[in-house]
Structure 1
Amino acid sequence: MKPRTFSRHIRESFKSLARNGWMTFASVSAVTVTLLLVGVFFVIMMNLNNVATTIEEDVEIRVHVDVAANEQDREALGEQITQLAGVKTVQFSPKDKELDNLIESLGTEGEAFKLFEQDNPLNDVFVIKTTEPTDTMEVAEEIEAFNYVATVKYGQGKIEQLFKIINVSRNVGLALIVGLLFTAMFLISNTIKITIVARRREIEIMRLVGATNSFIRWPFFLEGLWLGILGSLVPIAAVSSAYYYAYGIIEPKLKDHFIQLIEFDPFVYQLSAILIIMGAAIGIWGSLMSVRKFLKV
């Protein structure tokens, strides 16, 4: 396509938006309302997913070494664990450190445990993280069969339920987002279709004077693009402002917790790009699907 022809299509698309003011307003409003819902829901689901990921990454296996094991036995056990498939990291925590951690975690109540510093009854511990959190149970079962393993702890029973809840919540969230997107495409394309149906005479006249299908499509293609982009501006501004305000209030309260919100920057900019792309894509799709029926021979 020649640059002159393309610039003509751009001018015509803007003129058409201005000529059909109310229909343009209706289409942009449909895009705005739908993308606003998508944006809000997307922010909620991404933060819930971030919390779920943080919880998963916090899952670890604690292998208590038998008190009868000597240094050589501990090293051999550590080597066995490291070579297991699915093991990401292995850290050795001697019993002296375990006692210090216990005293520190109990605060003032832990002072009484300092009496055990001379005769420490705790076990040496291997702290293990798996490559995939869902591999925790399988890796723990394999380690239990090794020599010089006293106990293996990973929150058995609770971890399985936690993973099930996280998996279900992610699947439900994904299904809701997909459903909302399809609803958005249906509503927006129908609104744009009304706009194009109202201009069917324009399309018929263009066909009568010999305009090609491609020549007719381009202005509508560009109109859909502008409608989608215009409709995404308000949701971007609203969601970004709301998240900035919410982040400023909630984040300081979660400072000492393992649960954290996704940082404002660059999350909001990524979300803005997604909303613009979604708006443009839905606008283009709606325009092309609507004008297609009038271009059939």
Structure 2
Amino acid sequence: MKSRTFRRHVRESFKSLGRNGWMTLASISSVTVTLLLVGVFFVIMMNLNSVATSIEEDVEIRVHIDIAANEEDRELLANEISKINEVDSIDFSSKENELDSLIASFGDEGEAFKLVEQENPLRDVFIVKAKQPADTIQVADQIEQFNYVSSVKYGQGTVEPLFKFIDVSRNVGLILIIGLLFTAMFLISNTIKITILARRHEIEIMRLVGATNSFIRWPFFLEGLWLGILGALTPIAVVATSYYYLYDLIQLKIPNNHFIKILEFNPFVYQLSAVLLLLGAAIGVWGSLMSVRKFLKV
């Protein structure tokens, strides 16, 4: 396509936006509202996913070794566990280390344990992590069947509903976002339809003088593109500003060592802004494409 022809298409697309002022405003507003909701859902879902991933990574299987097992028995058990395909890592923690960890977890009160001379009642432990957190339960059930295993603990009763909640929240969020995007595409498509109907006589004349299909379609594609981009600017500004202040507020309220951490402002907001801009452009062009294919008989 020649640059002069492309400039002509750009001018025509902007003229069309001006001629259909109210419909243009309505479309931009609908895209703005839609992408604002999408942006909010993205912020919630991405941070929820980040927290969920952090929690999932902390899920581990603690295999308490039989007190009668010797060093050779422990090695055999470790080899059996390592043969499970879903196992990612195995770490050994002696009962002395387990006692030290227990004492440390009590803080100052734990110092009293050091003063009591008695045999260590704890057991040696294998700390096992699955490659995928969702495989934790399956791996734990397999390990429980092995010899020299006294007990297996992985947060039974807590892990199962946690994984289920994470899966459901991710799926619901994805469905809502897709629904909102299709709503925006439908609204832009209707705007382009009205533009095409208003210019049908002009289009017929263009066809009579030999204008090609692509020559007629290009201004409508560009018009959809501008509608999507203009509709994305306000949501980007609102979401970025809100997240900036929200991030500072949460940083003050939640200590750095807390397991709940939201995504850092940079680069998350810049990535989100790029996604919203691309989504705005994509749904604008897609809405225009659907309208042109269905209503423009060329």
TM score, norm. by length of structure 1? 0.92
**Partners of 2:135 and 2:62 in 1: CA distance:** 14
**Partners of 1:18 and 1:174 in 2: CA distance:** 35
| TM-superposed deviation, 1:100 | 1.0
**Partners of 1:116 and 1:79 in 2: CA distance:** 36
> Which segment is superposed worse, 257-266 or 189-198?
189-198
**Partners of 2:69 and 2:294 in 1: CA distance:** 79
AA in 2 matched with 1:71: E
5 Å matches for 1:247-266? 247-254=247-254, 255-266=256-267
RMSD: 1.9
Q: Which residue of 2 aligns with 1:106?
A: 106
| TM-superposed deviation, 1:197 | 2.8
Aligned partner of residue 203 in structure 1, secondary structure? helix
AA in 1 matched with 2:199: R
**Partners of 2:41 and 2:191 in 1: CA distance:** 23
| TM-superposed deviation, 1:295 | 2.9
| TM-superposed deviation, 1:225 | 0.9
AA in 2 matched with 1:284: V
Q: Go from structure 1 to structure 2 and tell me whether the alpha carbon gap of 1:213 and 1:97 turns closer, same or farther (over 3 Å shift).
A: same
AA in 2 matched with 1:57: E
Q: Go from structure 1 to structure 2 and tell me whether the alpha carbon gap of 1:113 and 1:138 turns closer, same or farther (over 3 Å shift).
A: same
> Which segment is superposed worse, 82-91 or 72-81?
72-81
Where in structure 2 are there 5+ consecutive unaligned residues? none
Aligned partner of residue 63 in structure 1, secondary structure? strand
**Partners of 2:57 and 2:170 in 1: CA distance:** 16
**Partners of 1:48 and 1:122 in 2: CA distance:** 36
Question: Is the contact between residue 213 and residue 295 of structure 1 (CA under 8 Å) also seen in structure 2?
Answer: no
Q: Go from structure 1 to structure 2 and tell me whether the alpha carbon gap of 1:17 and 1:117 turns closer, same or farther (over 3 Å shift).
A: farther
Q: Go from structure 1 to structure 2 and tell me whether the alpha carbon gap of 1:142 and 1:294 turns closer, same or farther (over 3 Å shift).
A: closer
**Partners of 1:64 and 1:201 in 2: CA distance:** 82
Q: Which residue of 2 aligns with 1:193?
A: 193
Question: Is the contact between residue 93 and residue 127 of structure 1 (CA under 8 Å) also seen in structure 2?
Answer: yes
**Partners of 2:56 and 2:269 in 1: CA distance:** 24
Do residues 282 (structure 1) and 275 (structure 2) align?
A: no
**Partners of 1:103 and 1:246 in 2: CA distance:** 38
AA in 1 matched with 2:177: I
Question: Is the contact between residue 222 and residue 285 of structure 2 (CA under 8 Å) also seen in structure 1?
Answer: yes
Q: Using the aligned pairs only, state the percent identity.
A: 73
| TM-superposed deviation, 1:247 | 0.8
Q: Which residue of 1 aligns with 2:156?
A: 156
**Partners of 1:174 and 1:283 in 2: CA distance:** 20
> Which segment is superposed worse, 27-36 or 116-125?
116-125
Aligned partner of residue 138 in structure 2, secondary structure? helix
Q: Which residue of 1 aligns with 2:57?
A: 57
**Partners of 1:214 and 1:295 in 2: CA distance:** 11
| TM-superposed deviation, 1:211 | 1.4
Cα deviation 1:118-141 (Å, max 9, x = unaligned): 622111111111001111111111
AA in 1 matched with 2:92: F
TM score, norm. by length of structure 2? 0.92
Counting matched residue pairs gives 297
